[in-house]
Amino acid sequence: MKVLVLNCGSSSLKYQLINMDTEEVLAKGIAERIGIAGSFVKHEATGKEKVVIEDTMENHKAAIKIVLDCLVHETHGAINSMTEISAVGHRVVHGGEKFAGSVIINEEVKATLEECSELAPLHNPPNLMGIYACEEILPSVPMVGVFDTAFHQTMPKSSYLYALPYELYDKYKIRRYGFHGTSHKYVAMRAADILGKPLEELKIVTCHLGNGASIAAVDRGKSIDTSMGFTPLEGLAMGTRCGDMDPAITTFLMEKEGLTSGELNNLMNKKSGVLGISGVSSDFRDIETAADEGNERAVMALEVYNKRVKKYIGAYAAEMGGLDAVVFTAGLGENSKETRKSVCEGLEFLGIKIDDNKNNVRGKETIVTTDDSNTKVLLIPTNEELMIARETKALI
């Protein structure tokens, strides 16, 4: 069974074709600049040369057509015919309170997703465009929606309610939803496998540290708390997002700087985080280099970032009443030994002892703590596409 996984953004579309009998990736790629001049698809079938196809892509439908052409292409394709695609798995960012798991996409699901668009105006509309486009191009192929929010629907009310007037929750569904759920679920499951223990017996904190970053408390397989909230702005300091701050700063800044709500939103989402503090970059590689060269603001950005990760690990260990494992994943979590080391420094009281030799690794499943460390720290590369394909296969 072959599953096509699609992750549609506003102007991009990432895809993977996975053979679910072996879980092998047959082809993957990305269409960029959809709806903008200069659009192209970077495509790579496993074992074949990478190709770049420059072509006009006015919308997601045009992009998906080109991707499908690539997949069945004589020289750089991966399958002989589109009929080999048994199902399409779509990454959908926001499932609101309606979806606590993946679903087969039907009319009712689409209508509910339209409603959820209000909660994720930047993300859900392009996800839906991908769904509508596939429906037209591959009308007889079943589709599944896999939600970033679904894994966190197990959070108790005490974790997801904000201390605002309760009526606002009823009226607007203002609550914490959490994101990156597919990744948190995947790495928690992998951690249990690697540790050789049932997930149902483990208390795990999963740290997804990429451009966007979030942490989850996975208590015996269930997410009971996570750092992102109503939107992906809450929680950790990120590449360009501020994460947690005193909410009174928003009205203060609007008054002092004469900012509109849109401008403030832009400041908190695009100009803050480690970029805002360091003034160097949102990319941790640049910031680490600047810090090594003695740039004090770069040093400070890393310290603020790491301290907040540490704080959440401590908070979630307290919430779960114990801690068996901490997992680091995504761009920074998988690549930066400095981040892992510095976040875990001082956590010996939680049973964590980092082994510097084992921690000197990138992008490979590894236990980076000493053998006698009571709490294990693991590096696990995330694989959201595989998780989406697995959920799709299970439902089909």
Nearer to ligand ADP, 282 or 375 (CB): 282
Residue, CB closest to ligand ADP: 331
Query: Strand 376-379 relative to strand 325-329: parallel, antiparallel, unpaired?
Result: parallel
Binding residues for ATP: 14, 208-212, 283-285, 331-335
What would the DSSP string read from start to end of 108-121?
HHHHHHHHHTTT-T
Q: Which is closer to ligand ADP, CB of 68 or CB of 207?
A: 207
Question: Between 96 and 210, whose beta carbon lies closer to ligand ADP?
Answer: 210
193 is catalytic: no
Edge to edge, what strands does the sheet with 51-54 contain?
51-54, 40-45, 24-32, 13-19, 2-8, 85-92, 143-147, 103-104
Provide, rounded to whole angstroms, the least separation between the CB of residue 108 and ligand ADP. Answer: 31
Give the separation between CA 123 and CA 14, rounded to whole angstroms.
14
Smallest distance from ligand ADP to CB 139, Å: 31
Q: Name the residue with tokens 């006009």.
A: 56
Catalytic site residue from 21, 148, 225, 324? 148
Find the shortest distance in angstroms from Cβ 335 to ligand ADP: 3
Determine if residue 51 is left, alpha or beta; phi over 0 gives left, psi from -120 to 50 gives alpha, anything else beta. beta
Tell me whether residue 329 or residue 392 sits nearer to ligand ADP (CB atom).
329
User: CB 43 → ligand ADP: shortest distance, Å?
Assistant: 19
Q: Provide the β-strand partners of residue 369.
A: 354
Strand partners, 354: 369
Nearest CA among 115, 71, 70 for reference residue 92: 115
User: Residue 314 burial (CB < 10 Å; 0-12/13-18/19+)?
Assistant: middle
Residue ranges that bind ligand ADP, judged by CB under 6 A = 210-212, 239, 283-285, 288, 330-332, 335-336
Does residue 147 contact residue 384 with C-beta atoms inside 8 Å? no
- Minimal distance in Å, beta carbon 228 to ligand ADP? 12
Catalytically annotated residues:
148
